[in-house]
Structure 1
Amino acid sequence: MSDDLRVPTPRASSGAARVSHGPCVLLKHGEVFLKGRNRHRFTERLHDNLRVSLRGVGGSTWIKTAQNVTVLGGHVPVEALVERARRVVGFNSVEPAVRVPSTLDGITAAAIDALRAVSGVRRGLRFAVRVRRRDKQFPLTSSRMEVFLGARVLDAVPALTVDLTTPDVTLNVVIDHKETYLSCERLPGLSGLPVGTSGRALVLLSGGYDSPVAAHRAMRRGLACDFVHFNGAPYTNPSSVYKAYALARELNRCQPPGTLHVVALGKAQKQLAVAGAGRLQVVAQRRLMVRTASALADRIGAQALVTGDSLGQVASQTLANLVAVDEAAALPVLRPLIGWEKQEIIDEARSIGTAGISVLPDEDCCSLLAPPRVSTGARLPHLRSVEKRLDLEEVVEALLGSAQVLRPGEDEEAPVSGDGCPAPA
């Protein structure tokens, strides 16, 4: 053996010897890492959200914290743990791994097993070993351990070759005080701030691409989200409600489940039309939506509204019209997609799993009673003149009084229609 591979006698460690071998998942923290004195609060919320995501996984699980890393394991297939962990906002990466005692023999055997398994799938692979030594008392430095493990792997699996620049597979080894984690795969997480650390918001959820993506972006900034969907009942069919339920259920996979409030707007839309809204009909409807959503948010304790508006995307989303809509809101209106192009939004919807739902046909309330030409520069005096012909407080109270409250993702035993949405009552 060459001098640079000569290894000191491994230290005895009764604690390490008690650490059992087994699969686990390493979860690398995202922005939580940057938090100072409040880091523990963010970490606690992150773990709470992880526990919620693990409900019903089919076996017992455990969670432990290492330095800026969460370790997840249990009597559950690793694939199921990985799938649940990738739903949780706040982890930068998710790595299927194996944990072994922090002894030289144990780490070496696990490294050989891991790369031998990979080599069995694809022969002639180029590999590299990357070691991070959190335990500075371990007898080998990180760089010497990399050389040592690489040599032992080559001896045991000669079909492999070393490539430190562009390897086909990288074996990551994290050496802690009592146990060591080895992984060959790193999957992206959702990153961001743990849901709930920034407060609660109410999302105006339509059946299109935009609002679900906006909701997902809001969650990744730490907002716990509830949802409100306005449909055109009794003048439209319930297809948009089915879509809203399916979208909320998909979004609730990334947070402790929020509620979905369904508001039948059709009669109020007709009242606005009868009041002479004309070209202002769409903007007046939007003002009524945010006015109603503001009242609902106050009842449920939400601190802001979230919409999928993108500046200039449609006539109702010109700057003048957005200003007119904001004036009717009693809470801040957050627009995570304000500078996004439509294709960017569609691509994001595909990546988060909502595009397949959004593309389904429905009867959108926004097109109900819409004029042939929509005003792109609505003026507040004209809007207020139309609204004075209605008793807005009474209208809002009636809308909320007849609203349905659904809990997507909490009661999967409810009757469902063929597209996975709740069957109409």
Structure 2
Amino acid sequence: MATGSYGPCVLLKHGEVFLKGRNRDRFVDRLHDNLRVALRGVGGSTWIKSVGSITVLGGEVPVDALVERARRVVGFTSVEPGIRVPSTVEDVTQAGLDVLLDSAEHRPVRTFAVRARRRDKQFPLTSHAMEVHVGARLKGALPHLAVDLGSPEVLLSIQVDRKESYLTWTRLPGLTGLPVGSSGRALVLLSGGYDSPVAAHRAMRRGLACDFVHFNGAPYTNPSSVYKAYALARELNRYQPPGHLHVIALGKAQKQLAVAGAGRLQVVAQRRLMVRTASALAARTGAEALVTGDSLGQVASQTLANMTAVDEAASLPVLRPLLGWDKQEIIDEAHTIGTADVSVLPDEDCCQLLAPPRVSTRANLPRLRAVEKRIDVDDVIETLLDHVQVMLPGDDVPPAPAPVCRAQKEVMSGA
């Protein structure tokens, strides 16, 4: 056995952060801050250290738990469970042998390879010499195994640093991208469907910290969409320092638009009201952009002309990460990030409230402005924001939204 002590650890390879030059330290600090947030409540003490373009994670916590938390953090290209040993040729070689023996006990192993990187140039062996030395020792001890440098069944990776060396043999994909918060803050218009949660996740992977705003049809719809929005925000908050969810009851304002004669422009008028309100809310929360789940041409309200009409009402940039995605791509991504099981649940979508049988695919801006003038849109927005409900989605039970005050069928009949 090796003369030094062993310790479990996880190696986290940096992604785009590695390319940031003189700003790299700022991005790495943000990455580590996000990792610390992800480790909260993991059940024991942990530590984080930098080794070149790698973060090493360890602590008094099972490695599986560390891996699960680290894979939530945007900015790492790979997550590799491993061990750390003293930086001596004997310790590293013995550790490699133990790793290979352990792997062979759990599954059939016929081939292996060794890859080494010598970060400490005072180490007595070069990277190539280390690969040859360890590979020869492993082959001598386990002669039934063959060396395969192309596609080995076990690839033993060795990182040699000054005091400690790190050995890994499993590589799990990370979330890549930029650390959440390194690009600023955004406000996501979060519905209960597949699209907007996936758009939020994509925005996070470009470094945006996200808060959420959900518009429901209260008092004319039931609270099901609010519970879905809360569950979706809670799932998305697994990937970032938790953002707030703002719930805004839009039902009365939607009825005002209908009474003011929106007609076939009802849905686009509602979307304009949403982005106006979200822009005003963003000014209070410090957000610098809005994020939506729009996909060009997916539905009638998402034509280029209608998107342009919506953008004209916003006072902030409207980001659409899914603009060129098709529906199946979005659904597949929702399954990957864990939001699909929530999105598929039934609810009462406020966008369908008072929606006309046929939606205009080419919004008439003068007519939209005339409808908004009739309802005094600025006063409407102030009223909406005065009654916003703010939550911090986590592991707790969400507070109950306001009860339904009137049946949807009464609104549809003009009651």
TM-score (norm. length: structure 1): 0.92
Residues 85-234 of structure 1 aligned to structure 2 (within 5 Å): 85-234=70-219
Residue in 1 that maps onto 2:265: 280
Letter in structure 2 aligned against 1:127: F
Output the CA distance in 1 between the equivalents of 2:223 and 2:141.
63
Task: Describe the SS at the equivalent of 1:165.
Answer: coil
Query: What is the letter of the counterpart of residue 405 of structure 1?
Result: V
Q: How many residues align?
A: 401
Q: Which amino acid aligns with 1:105?
A: E
C-alpha distance after superposition, 1:165-186 (max 9, x if no partner):
1211211111111111000001
Unaligned segments of structure 1, at least 5 residues = 1-16
SS for the counterpart of 1:346 is: helix
* SS of the residue 2:239 aligns to: coil
**Paired position in structure 2 for 1:247:** 232
Could you report, residue by residue, the CA deviation over 1:128-150 in whole angstroms, capped at 9, with x for unpaired residues? 11111112222222222112112
Corresponding position of 2:301: 316
Post-superposition offset of 1:154: 2.2
Q: CA contact under 8 A between 1:89 and 1:194: conserved in structure 2?
A: yes
Paired with 1:33 and 1:389, the residues of 2 have a C-alpha distance of: 54
User: What amino acid is aligned across from residue 292 of structure 2 in structure 1?
Assistant: T
Cα deviation 1:63-83 (Å, max 9, x = unaligned):
111101110000000011111
Structure 1 runs, 4 residues or longer, greater than 4 Å off: 421-425
Residue 69 of structure 2 aligns with an amino acid whose one-letter code is R
User: Do structure 1's residue 386 and structure 2's residue 371 form an aligned pair?
Assistant: yes
Deviation at 1:156, TM superposition (A): 2.4
Indicate conservation of the 8 Å contact 2:18/2:53, yes or no: yes
Separation (CA, whole Å) in 1 of partners of 2:109 and 2:249: 62
Q: Which amino acid aligns with 1:344?
A: E
Query: Within 2, Cα distance between the matches of 1:324 and 1:235?
Result: 27
The code of the aligned residue for 1:25 comes to V
Q: CA RMSD in A?
A: 1.4
Cα contact 1:245–1:422 (8 A) shared by 2: no
Q: Who is 1:14 aligned against?
A: none
Q: How does 1:317-396 map to 2 (within 5 A)?
A: 317-396=302-381
Match of residue 65 from structure 1: 50
Separation in 2, partners of 1:159, 1:253: 45
Structure 1 residues 120-129 or 20-29, which shifts more? 120-129
| Aligned counterparts of 1:126 and 1:422: Cα–Cα separation in 2 | 56
> What letter corresponds to residue 22 of structure 2 in structure 1?
R
1:122, 1:348 → 2: CA distance?
Answer: 31
What's the counterpart of residue 7 of structure 1? none
- The answer as to whether partners of 2:109 and 2:153 remain within 8 angstroms in 1 is no
Contact 1:31 1:193 in 2 (8 A): yes
Structure 2 letter corresponding to 1:188: P
Q: Deviations over 1:287-313 (max 9, x none)?
A: 000000000000111111000111111
Q: Quick one: which amino acid aligns to residue 218 of structure 1?
A: A
TM-score, normalization by structure 2: 0.94
User: Quick check: 48-57 or 133-142, which moved more?
Assistant: 133-142
CA distance in 1, matches of 2:63, 2:322: 35
What's the secondary structure of 2:90's corresponding residue? helix
* Partner secondary structure for residue 277 of structure 2: helix
Mapped to 2, the partners of 1:204 and 1:123 lie a distance apart of: 50
Work out the CA distance in 2 between the residues paired with 1:158 and 1:251.
Answer: 49
Following superposition, the deviation at residue 423 of structure 1 comes to 4.9
Match in the other structure for 1:258 = 243
Q: Is the 8 A contact 1:123 1:159 kept in 2?
A: no
Amino acid at match of 1:62: W
Once the 2 structures are TM-superposed, how far is the Cα of residue 155 of structure 1 from its aligned partner?
2.5
C-alpha deviations, 1:198-231, integer Å up to 9, x for none?
1100000001111011101111111110000000
Contiguous gaps of at least 5 residues in structure 2: 403-415
Contact 1:242–1:422 (8 Å) recurs in 2: no
Q: Is the 8 A contact 1:32 1:193 kept in 2?
A: yes
Query: Shift of the alpha carbon at 1:356?
Result: 1.1
Q: How far apart in 1 are the matches of 2:401 and 2:285?
A: 25
